[in-house]
Structure 1
Amino acid sequence: MPVRCRALILGLAGMLLVTPAPAEMRGHGGPVRALAISPDGRLAMSGSFDQSAILWALGEGAALAVLRFHEGAVNAVAALPDGRFATGGEDGRIALWRGAAPDPERVIEGHTGPVVALAVSPDGTRLGSAAWDGTARVHPLAGGEARVLAGHQGNVNAVGFLPDGRAVTGGYDLTLRVWPEEPGTEAVSVTLPSPVNAVAAAPDGEIAAAGADGIVRLLDPGLRVRAEVETQGTPVIALALAPDGTRLAAANVRGSVSLIDRAAARIALTLVGPGLPVWSVAFSPDGSELLTGGSDRLVRRWNARTGEHLGPVVIAAVPDLLAGLQGSRGAQVFRACAACHTLTPDGGNRAGPTLHGIFGRRIASVKGYNFSPALQGMDIVWTPETVSALFEIGPSRYTPGTKMPEQTISDPADREALVRFLADATTGR
């Protein structure tokens, strides 16, 4: 082979070797609720409202495995020091995964409500979980009984660990709590101005707490507030701390991510996506890259130092199934349901089953969706009357044992508008 040809082939091979990974990782059928990156930076795992977790090879931006185990949304993901991942689900269970194996290596039970946050202790020996049963738990990863942290008055939304191993939790009851290592000792707590949605603990012991009021508060281990950082004025859903502790990523429902200089307590950069809620954020181990997951069903990649999106941001995102229906009262009521349910024949299941063809369908009969056992024995056929009754008295009373979040529609006119909208939108007309 001529030298010139060999040089051309080698040059092309080199170009292939350095081709950047895709800037967007696609695969979920619902909003990406949780993200974590392995300690070596090679793998990531995402969890979604579509009831699945996906294991990604970050170098290629490719999915290695779609993991289905949880009965309901996968709300939380954590990377363990030994390369495994943990997922927490709406079903109250925690699953430990090794590689791309199709089944969990271990399942941890105990919570009686959805698990919504996970965190690994600094020494890598314990896994913290926060749940909507009003408790947090600390699980020894080597096995053994979990320590139950009880005291919050309502849903516990967040969990983390201080450098000395003490657990930190935040809840809907507006309190942030630090739990002593000794069981039976009361936690130190502070009441904040709004519900706590996420927490992160820095290597120096400072705690960041993100609120439903859109403010990230920085507190010392004694829970004294050092600074407050206003983000976009809308609820902050998720927090991530850079490995070196210098920066915080705060994701909000408006669709942007604030990169906060922690020492200066100010926003250094704002990452702007397609305008849909960002549910999850995770820094790479070297702090150079940030992953975000949102309602557009994508995992996006960003340069964490410059704020540059790695690839074009498609502002159109996914098609808005409610576009053109802004004047419809029923469509506006349905927007609260759109994260969990699709309407079209090809929409598929998310955290909840597709609603296409709902009227005249027996409860718990959609193929491919894992329904709560309690629903499978019920004798309910969905009609305008039964759907209206569901939202009049609430899912927990009308369909006991459901995985559906508790919600009611008190206004009869709103219930009627929703039913009319579903009758039209789910029939394909």
Structure 2
Amino acid sequence: MRGWIAALWCLAAVPAAAQDFTTLKGHGGPVMGLAMLPGGAVISASFDNSVGLWQGRVPRWFEGHAAAAIAVAPLDEGRFVSGGDDFDVLLWDRESGAATRLEGHQGKVASVAVSSDRAWIASASWDGSIGLWPAQGGAPRFLKGHDAPVTDVGFARDGTRLFSTSADGTLRVWPWQEDEAVSRVLVDQGFGINELVVGPGDAWIAFGAVDGATRVVNPETGAEIADFTLDRRPVLALVHHEGSGQLAAGDGHGYIMVIDTRAWTITRDFKAMERGPVWALAFSPDGAMLYAGGLPEVVYGWPVALLDGFDPAGEAEHSFLRPPGEMENGERQFMRKCSICHALTPPPSRKAGPSLHGLFGRAAGTVPNYPYSPILANSDIVWNDQSIDALFDLGPDHYIPGSKMPMQRITGAQDREDLIAYLRRATR
């Protein structure tokens, strides 16, 4: 009885709007990026190439990326910006749904950020550069200095500096308004850094790294302020809520750690995803809810005050409800190699690739309303045992050069045979 009373007391202490465990369903692939609009709407970027705007449980879709959408940020009252695996930054008009394509990167866009005056957009790219785009239009600039992919970028609140992180292990500061901006290394920690957050008033910078490090440093000197490094790795998501002073970090093992930045202490450490990593995080405007994205095709939201009381999410949202060890080999191969991009159910599908329903005997590039690459749409391939075997034996990049299919192979002949047998049953 006392346990029930305590639980009810905890619920009463949380604002009514935050008492609901939230799942936002609709994406057709893993959720890679999240952001929050001032009014409480969630923006999500997904492996299904789309951006969702959630002002309730029913999303509005923004379609324009030619590959996975992986980063998103609000710009001003009527616009937001996204970046993707198609190397592009898209500037979206919320009312019309129209997108302005900002081109110039030669690698995936891993992160986008907006200056405090909303006049500039910065993009971090795997081509090793930082893009600087005038929000009202105009020619971009590109900053180069990292020795590896740039993973994240953030403007200082004072507007004079830009911070960036990279797979080269450095956190750098840029006097970005100078014509020939040269970076200065604040931190060189050896392992790649994935995420950064610039604290209020530029008082601190937090970063998360491949080795599991979550550290806070002085933005002038790089001196360490706090270290919350755990055995889990890597840190893949980092978000700060200024009003409540909360800093949340999501990692590759599916955990979310919440830090009180006023006392620099860990307040919660929560297993958020049953399987897979936490790729994206966002706080609600009041800081009472924390939203997360990962391998499941949904956005989860939890009341922060009750985080430790919830079971891990994700199990019921996976296409495969059994652990891989309980699957037959062909199903396991499909789960590992195909399931993120392809559905087995009849079209339409929100996944990044076309539905495989009715696959055998179908000419390649013929599922209605799917935007195939020209090379596949005009090919003479018919999907059967031999062509599917060759696809995974050689790899899509060799079997269909120029297609949008990601590069992967199944080298074992028996594994390919088992996959084909499974697909014959599952796609009827």
**Given the two structures, how large is their TM-score scaled by the length of structure 1?**
0.82
| Residue 272 of structure 1 pairs with residue 267 of structure 2 | no
CA distance in 2, matches of 1:296, 1:31: 5
Q: State whether residues 32 and 279 of structure 1, in contact with CA within 8 Å, keep that contact through their aligned partners in structure 2.
A: yes
Q: Residue in 1 aligned with 2:234? A: 235
Q: Residue in 2 aligned with 1:286? A: 286
Shift of residue 245 of structure 1?
A: 7.7
Shift of residue 278 of structure 1?
A: 2.2
Shift of residue 234 of structure 1?
A: 2.6
Q: 1:203 aligns with which of 177, 200, 203?
A: 200
CA distance in 2, matches of 1:392, 1:266: 51
Q: Residue in 2 aligned with 1:194? A: 191
Moved more, 127-136 or 387-396: 387-396
> What amino acid sits opposite 2:366 in the alignment?
S
Q: State whether residues 298 and 317 of structure 2, in contact with CA within 8 Å, keep that contact through their aligned partners in structure 1.
A: no
CA distance in 2, matches of 1:156, 1:337: 27
* Cα pair distance change 1:345/1:64, threshold 3 Å: closer
Q: State whether residues 322 and 331 of structure 1, in contact with CA within 8 Å, keep that contact through their aligned partners in structure 2.
A: no
Shift of residue 134 of structure 1?
A: 2.5
> What amino acid sits opposite 2:60 in the alignment?
A
In terms of fraction of residues, the more helix-rich structure is: 2
Shift of residue 79 of structure 1?
A: 0.9
CA distance in 2, matches of 1:391, 1:225: 48
Moved more, 25-34 or 259-268: 259-268
Shift of residue 152 of structure 1?
A: 2.8
Gaps of 5+ in 1: 1-16
* Cα pair distance change 1:345/1:144, threshold 3 Å: same
Within 5 A, what are the aligned runs for 1:293-308? 293-307=293-307
Within 5 A, what are the aligned runs for 1:117-196? 117-165=111-159, 166-181=161-176, 182-189=178-185, 190-196=187-193
> What amino acid sits opposite 2:353 in the alignment?
G
| Residue 49 of structure 1 pairs with residue 43 of structure 2 | no
Shift of residue 262 of structure 1?
A: 3.2
Within 5 A, what are the aligned runs for 1:73-84? 73-84=68-79
Aligned residues: 403
Q: State whether residues 37 and 285 of structure 1, in contact with CA within 8 Å, keep that contact through their aligned partners in structure 2.
A: yes
Within 5 A, what are the aligned runs for 1:200-349? 200-205=197-202, 206-221=204-219, 222-231=221-230, 233-244=232-243, 246-276=245-275, 277-307=277-307, 316-321=315-320, 323=322, 325-326=324-325, 335-338=335-338, 340-346=340-346, 348-349=349-350
**Given the two structures, how large is their TM-score scaled by the length of structure 2?**
0.82
Q: State whether residues 330 and 421 of structure 2, in contact with CA within 8 Å, keep that contact through their aligned partners in structure 1.
A: no
Q: State whether residues 274 and 317 of structure 1, in contact with CA within 8 Å, keep that contact through their aligned partners in structure 2.
A: no
Shift of residue 65 of structure 1?
A: 1.5
CA distance in 1, matches of 2:415, 2:147: 33
Q: State whether residues 193 and 209 of structure 2, in contact with CA within 8 Å, keep that contact through their aligned partners in structure 1.
A: yes
> What amino acid sits opposite 1:367 in the alignment?
P
* Cα pair distance change 1:383/1:136, threshold 3 Å: farther
Q: State whether residues 27 and 297 of structure 1, in contact with CA within 8 Å, keep that contact through their aligned partners in structure 2.
A: yes
| Residue 422 of structure 1 pairs with residue 416 of structure 2 | no
* Cα pair distance change 1:366/1:234, threshold 3 Å: farther
CA distance in 2, matches of 1:402, 1:265: 49
CA distance in 1, matches of 2:17, 2:216: 40
What do the CA deviations read for 1:203-246 (whole angstroms, capped 9, x no partner)? 24322221122221222223344333124613222111112483
* Cα pair distance change 1:324/1:291, threshold 3 Å: closer
Q: What's the % identity of the aligned pairs?
A: 35
Shift of residue 137 of structure 1?
A: 0.6
Q: Residue in 1 aligned with 2:11? A: none
What do the CA deviations read for 1:285-340 (whole angstroms, capped 9, x no partner)? 3322221122222222222345367x986663224427365265565555543563
> What amino acid sits opposite 1:69 in the alignment?
G
> What amino acid sits opposite 2:370 in the alignment?
Y
Shift of residue 78 of structure 1?
A: 0.5
What do the CA deviations read for 1:71-129 (whole angstroms, capped 9, x no partner)? 1211111012324221222222222223343332x332222322221111122211111
* Cα pair distance change 1:265/1:219, threshold 3 Å: same
> What amino acid sits opposite 2:208 in the alignment?
A
Q: State whether residues 71 and 372 of structure 1, in contact with CA within 8 Å, keep that contact through their aligned partners in structure 2.
A: no
* Cα pair distance change 1:177/1:360, threshold 3 Å: farther
Q: State whether residues 55 and 100 of structure 1, in contact with CA within 8 Å, keep that contact through their aligned partners in structure 2.
A: no
Q: Residue in 1 aligned with 2:8? A: none
| C-alpha RMSD of the superposition | 3.2
Moved more, 44-53 or 366-375: 366-375
CA distance in 2, matches of 1:191, 1:353: 43
Q: State whether residues 92 and 114 of structure 1, in contact with CA within 8 Å, keep that contact through their aligned partners in structure 2.
A: yes
Moved more, 376-385 or 194-203: 376-385
* Cα pair distance change 1:245/1:401, threshold 3 Å: farther
Q: State whether residues 353 and 369 of structure 1, in contact with CA within 8 Å, keep that contact through their aligned partners in structure 2.
A: yes
